[in-house]
Amino acid sequence: MIRLGLLKRTVLYLLAFGTVLVALFPIWWLVNTSLKTPLEFLGGGMTLFPRQPTLAHYREVVFERSFLRFFGNTAIVATAATTISVLAGSLAAYSLSRFRFPWKLDALFLVWALVIRTIPPIVFVVPLFIMFRELRLTNVRAILILAYQVYTLPLAIWMLLGFFRAIPRELEEAALTDGASRIQALLRIVYPLVTPGLAATAIFCIITTWNEFIYALIFARVPADFTIPIGIATFITEYRTLWGPLAAGSLISSLPLLAFTAFVQKHLLRGFALRGIF
Amino acid sequence: MVPEGARVQRSLGFFFREAIVRLGRGCNVLRLTFERSIHLWLLVPAGLLFLMFTVFPLIYNGYISLHHFQFIRRIFNFVGARNYIRLFQDGLFLSSIGNTLRFVALATATEVVLGTGLALLFNARLRGRRIMLPLVTLPMMFPTMVVCAVWVMLYDFEFGFLNNFLRFLGFSPIQWLSDPKIAMESIVLVDIWQWTPFVLLVILAGLQSIPDYLYEAAQLDGANGFQMFRHITLPLLSFQIKLAILLRLIDTFRIFDKVYAMTGGGPGYATETISLYIYREGFRYFNLGYAAAASLVMVFLVLGISILYARRMWKELRV
């Protein structure tokens, strides 16, 4: 771009550093709180570094509270919901990327996915609640896996559509002329090529379900069924000042998410635009 | 003459052979029809999931909303449009719409303005940009509940960092989350902290697609920095900015978890949003018919706003 004067450069650097500081300070505060002893915390919360760092809060969270149980619930629900969505979504996305449909069925499908992305998730919750009651489905994990399709399926279809479109048709057409059926061409040629795309999509589905709040809050009524976000929310609303364990638990539960996002840096923008953000 | 038995045998063999051939042909026809309609079959799993968990619930929502449905007392009576009439006479519902719109406007506007500014900043050739940019976008990578936990700690009246800092500077502490006048703004601030990086990334992507030679040409023509921003950057960025506005609009409209965790809709009903109102009516009082009616009003609001906005966007894009 343009060459800048010295004064201008200094101002720009100061602004940039200020922004980094504002973005990082709350996160550092979380780390800081998780390492402080309760005594130091009550004595006045201004110290930027813990005087006597302790891992007691981490031990308490992992071994004494039902945190591991929440972690397990979240992992199971997120994985299963993602698997269903990526399987069904990849078949649909492949089909939508390759064929023309009568009555604009393809456009309808894609627009419907966007409409679902636009509608607030709380809207589906009353009918889903009654539906699962009528179906006598009481397993909270199963309920959440099915309900989360509202989020993950539109996300998977739209993300995968881009990945399938990027694969040249000629490759499968060569297989088709050699006598392979569509399914064979799809399984043997297209899926191996689109694997990175499938992985990125799966990661965004997992991030979405890992974060999900409303459905988990409404369907999980006893602590044994809680997912991590509900666990943290209960902690915030019920034990307002047990900050050490809260901070430690929050940090531990963020780690998988941070690791996942690191894998999908390239697709960050699309993924975050397509998933419902709160 | 062929013996009788042999004729029977042959015709039996003939029959079987014929049957197998026909069956094979039938299978072939089936296979061919399957192969020819494979594109439809591939849509079936996703289509069924859509039908069961999105289309049906929306329609069913409309049906429930016409009934007085009290889940606990097992009441289910047809009441026509009475739920809707009651909704628009309910001051609490109307004020929750007002609160939501206030949240949407404040958060979206600030995030887009701030995000655009930061995108311009980080588009300049600064040393260390590659390290700073991921650090700045870190807030959006954290789970929303963790973000809420952080800010509840910072906002706390007695032990929170912000009030300790104010006391240290000699000011009186602020009731960030329990003063009805500023509770909503406090939550907006959290949303800004978390999602401005997202707007920053959207705008930055747009900025980086503007070719350098446009600026060089303008510089040769003697344009100053502001003129270049006004006549090159802004017009070429308008799609990205509008996209950011649309996405933030959709996502702030559904605001639920931050409010639930940080204020629970309080103090009083100062931070009650539509999502929270539906949750309370539906899953605290179990007035499911009433909650369904409120849900549909919400759908019309959000779809109305976003479709109008998106249509204008596409029109301008084509022109």
Q: What is the pLDDT of residue B193?
A: 95
Peptide bond into B173 cis (omega under 30): no
- Structural domains of chain A, ranges and CATH numbers in brackets: 6-54 (no CATH), 65-274 (1.10.3720.10)
**Inside any domain, residue B7:** no
CA dist A182 and A172 (Å) reads 8
pLDDT in tens, B84-135: 998 899 989 999 999 999 999 999 999 999 999 999 998 887 888 888 888 9
pLDDT in tens, A77-110: 999 999 999 999 999 999 998 888 888 888 888 8
Mutate to test the interface with A, among B28, B70, B97, B150 (most CBs of A within 10 A): B150
The answer to whether the CB atoms of B193 and A119 lie below 8 A apart is no
For residue A228, give every residue at least 6 positions away whose Cβ sits within 8 Å of its Cβ, in sequence order, or none.
Answer: A70, A71, A73, A74, A210, A253, B143, B145
**Inside any domain, residue B19:** no
Mutate to test the interface with B, among A40, A122, A201 (most CBs of B within 10 A): A122
| Average pLDDT of the residues in B134-150 | 90
Mutate to test the interface with B, among A48, A105, A111, A123 (most CBs of B within 10 A): A123
Residue of B nearest to A100 (CA): B39
pLDDT in tens, B242-257: 889 999 999 999 999 9
Q: What is the pLDDT of residue A4?
A: 60
Q: How far is A126 from chain B (nearest CA, A)?
A: 6
**Inside any domain, residue B282:** yes
**Inside any domain, residue B3:** no
- Helix, strand, coil percent values for chain B (each to nearest 5): 75, 5, 20
Name the residue facing B143 among A129, A217, A254 (closest C-beta).
A254
pLDDT in tens, B247-290: 999 999 999 999 999 998 878 888 999 999 999 999 988 889 99
- Is pLDDT above 60 for B2? no
**Inside any domain, residue B8:** no
CA dist B279 and B65 (Å) reads 15
Residue A253 with chain B: CB contacts under 8 Å: 143, 146
- Is pLDDT above 70 for A45? no
Residue of A nearest to B274 (CA): A122
Lowest model confidence (mean pLDDT) among B54-58, B125-129, B298-302: B125-129
What number of H helices and E strands is found in chain A?
15, 0
Copy the structure tokens of residue A198: 């499938």
For residue B120, give every residue at least 6 positions away whose Cβ sits within 8 Å of its Cβ, in sequence order, or none.
Answer: B207, B229, B233
Q: What is the pLDDT of residue B3?
A: 58
Q: At what angle do helices A6-35 and B144-155 cross, to 10 degrees?
A: 90
Q: What is the pLDDT of residue A278?
A: 42
User: What is the residue range of B222's domain?
Assistant: 83-318
CA dist A185 and B170 (Å) reads 72
The answer to whether the CB atoms of A46 and B138 lie below 8 A apart is no
- Is pLDDT above 60 for A22? yes
pLDDT in tens, B219-234: 888 888 888 888 888 8
**Inside any domain, residue B129:** yes
The total of structural domains in chain B comes to 1
The answer to whether the CB atoms of B61 and A157 lie below 8 A apart is no
**Inside any domain, residue B205:** yes
- The amino acid that residue B207 corresponds to is L
> pTM of this prediction?
0.86
Give the CATH number of the domain where residue B272 resides. Answer: 1.10.3720.10
pLDDT in tens, A161-219: 988 988 888 888 888 888 888 888 888 888 888 988 899 899 989 988 998 999 999 99
The answer to whether the CB atoms of A236 and B149 lie below 8 A apart is yes
Q: Which of A30, A129, A149 is nearest to A83 (CA)?
A: A149
Q: Which of A83, A78, A72 is nearest to A260 (CA)?
A: A78
Q: Which of A134, A25, A88, A46 is nearest to B168 (CA)?
A: A46
How far, CA to CA in Å, does A63 sit from each of A58, A249, B219? 8, 11, 64
How far, CA to CA in Å, does A271 sit from each of A154, B15, B162, B166? 11, 61, 34, 39
**Inside any domain, residue B99:** yes
For residue A187, the tally of other CB atoms under 10 A from its CB is 12
Q: Which of A232, A210, A231, A209 is nearest to A222 (CA)?
A: A231
Name the residue facing A213 among B50, B57, B145 (closest C-beta).
B145
| Average pLDDT of the residues in A3-25 | 86
**Reported ipTM:** 0.87
Q: How far is A156 from chain B (nearest CA, A)?
A: 10
Q: Who has greater pLDDT, A88 or B212?
A: A88
Residue B279 with chain A: CB contacts under 8 Å: 122, 214, 217-218
Residue B259 with chain A: CB contacts under 8 Å: none
Copy the structure tokens of residue B86: 């009651």
Name the residue facing A12 among B47, B126, B197 (closest C-beta).
B126
The answer to whether the CB atoms of B142 and A27 lie below 8 A apart is yes
Q: How far is A14 from chain B (nearest CA, A)?
A: 11
